[in-house]
């Protein structure tokens, strides 16, 4: 009989090897009789289609991720994370997970061993996960370029108690702000992308103000990308509702001051004299300051031809005065 010690597990580095997907002839022995099996070359699996996932399919994929990768550091992010929190405004075409760079190979190795998951030669950052109907959906792996602890919450999507790690809402806010500051939603994507980003931020910030769990509290340290002038001046000032929501969620003047020292002046938000225990403001509604200019807001939305003074005036249009109940 063959020596079992010669059998080595399938390593992730072997997945991209063309020989992995070609079954060469092999021999087995039954007594003194040698049986030689010759099989035809096996084609590598095809990439899943980029169709629209239903909420049910998304939940099933999230459940399988939780079952299979419970021992791996990862976090579901993007539209699938928004859906997990209850926002179904936009459907998913895939599920995205972020992980440390070293964890990518671990995830792919476990996916290769799972009966309802697939790996793809030449696609190091993609695995396929099947739902209950047998449809295979794309899961995109986003390795982090540096070692960082992921702030996550555990959610269950099945009856077996398996928990899936979902990126905390403040971390989602920071990813959105970072993507905008890096130009992901630049001129090529158009205003529609910016409107979608604003909608996502408004929804997330509103949820953060209603969630009293410590891991869901927005702090200055949890949203470093929000401090970028490219986001705070250029984006937040274009959507007048955002500065107030950031303030309610815990964003304070010290963050703005850090960006100001970097060379971009901005209006600092005043400290809240009546903070709530959960870190959110008691303010429910804001009114424009008397004499505010709607034309300035419109110009800020329509083009970049504003002076810094005009931008600061737009930012100061949102009143931060508080009315006690």
Residue 191 is predicted with a pLDDT of 52
3-state secondary structure of 138: strand
* Mean pLDDT, rounded, for 137-152: 88
Structural domains for the chain: 4-37 (no CATH), 55-170 (3.30.460.40), 190-315 (no CATH)
- Mean pLDDT (whole number) for 273-282: 34
Q: Give the tens place of pLDDT for each residue, 93-113.
A: 999 999 999 999 999 999 999
What are the start-end ranges of the H helices in the chain? 55-68, 78-84, 101-113, 169-181, 190-210, 229-232, 241-249, 253-261, 294-302, 308-315
pLDDT of residue 39 exceeding 90, the answer is: no
**pLDDT for 278-301, tens place per residue?**
333 333 333 333 333 334 444 444
The residue among 318, 320, 313 whose CA lies nearest residue 265 is 313
Tell me the C-alpha distance between 314 and 308, whole Å.
Answer: 10
Average pLDDT value for residue range 270-279: 33
Is the pLDDT confidence value at 175 over 60?
A: yes
Q: What angle do CA 29, 31, 37 make, to 5 degrees?
A: 25
- Supply the DSSP symbol for 85: T
If 0-12 CB within 10 Å is exposed, 13-18 middle and 19+ buried, where does residue 47 land? Answer: middle
Highest average pLDDT, of 138-147, 190-199, 314-323, comes from: 138-147
Picking from 201, 167, 147, 148, the residue whose alpha carbon sits closest to that of residue 62 is: 167
Q: Cα–Cα distance between 87 and 113 in angstroms, integer? A: 33
| 170 closest CA partner among 224, 213, 222, 211 | 222
Q: Quote the pLDDT of residue 281.
A: 35
Least confident segment among 44-53, 124-133, 166-175, 237-246: 44-53
pLDDT band at 245; cut points 50, 70, 90: very high
Per-residue pLDDT, 195: 86
* Angle between helical axes of 190-210 and 241-249 (0-180°, round to 10): 30
Chain-wide mean pLDDT for the chain? 72
* Alpha helix (H) residue ranges in 224-292: 229-232, 241-249, 253-261
**Predicted confidence band of residue 181 (pLDDT cuts 50, 70, 90):** confident
What are the pLDDT digits (tens) for 70-98?
999 999 999 999 999 999 888 899 999 99
Pair 219, 250: CB distance under 8 Å = yes
Long-range CB contacts (< 8 A, 24+ apart) of 65-68? 65/95, 65/97, 65/129, 65/139, 65/164, 66/155, 66/156, 66/157, 66/158, 66/162, 66/163, 66/164, 66/165, 67/158, 67/160, 67/162, 68/110, 68/111, 68/114, 68/117
Residue 221 is predicted with a pLDDT of 87
Inform me whether the pLDDT recorded for 68 exceeds 60: yes
| Mean pLDDT value across residues 18-30 | 40
């Amino acid at each position: 009989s063959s020596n079992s010690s010669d059998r080595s597990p399938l390593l992730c580095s072997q997945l991209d090897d063309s020989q992995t997907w070609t079954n060469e002839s092999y021999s087995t022995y039954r007594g003194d009789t040698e049986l030689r099996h010759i099989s035809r070359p096996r084609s590598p699996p095809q990439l899943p289609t980029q169709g629209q996932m239903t909420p049910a399919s998304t939940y099933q994929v999230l459940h399988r991720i939780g079952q299979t990768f419970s021992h791996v550091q990862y976090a579901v992010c993007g539209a699938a994370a928004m859906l997990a929190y209850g926002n179904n405004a936009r459907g998913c075409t895939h599920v995205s997970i972020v992980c440390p760079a070293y964890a990518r190979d671990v995830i792919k190795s476990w996916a290769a061993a799972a009966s309802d998951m697939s790996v793809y030669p030449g696609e190091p950052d993609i695995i396929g996960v099947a739902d209950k109907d047998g449809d295979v959906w794309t899961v995109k792996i986003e390795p982090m370029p540096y070692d960082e602890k992921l702030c996550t919450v555990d959610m269950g999507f099945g009856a077996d108690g398996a928990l899936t790690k979902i990126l905390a809402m403040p971390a989602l806010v920071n990813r959105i702000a970072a993507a905008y500051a890096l130009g992901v939603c630049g001129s090529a994507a158009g205003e529609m992308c910016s409107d979608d980003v604003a909608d996502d931020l408004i929804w997330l910030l509103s949820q953060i103000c209603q969630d009293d769990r410590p891991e869901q509290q927005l702090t200055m340290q949890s949203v470093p990308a929000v401090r970028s002038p490219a986001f705070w001046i250029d984006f937040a000032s274009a959507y007048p509702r955002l500065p107030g929501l950031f303030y309610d969620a815990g964003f304070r003047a010290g963050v703005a001051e850090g960006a100001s020292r970097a060379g971009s002046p901005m209006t600092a938000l005043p400290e809240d004299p009546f903070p709530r225990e959960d870190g959110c403001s008691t303010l429910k509604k804001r009114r424009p300051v008397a004499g505010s200019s709607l034309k300035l807001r419109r110009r800020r939305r329509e083009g970049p031809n504003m002076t810094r003074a005009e931008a600061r005036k737009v930012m100061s249009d949102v009143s931060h005065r508080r009315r006690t109940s």
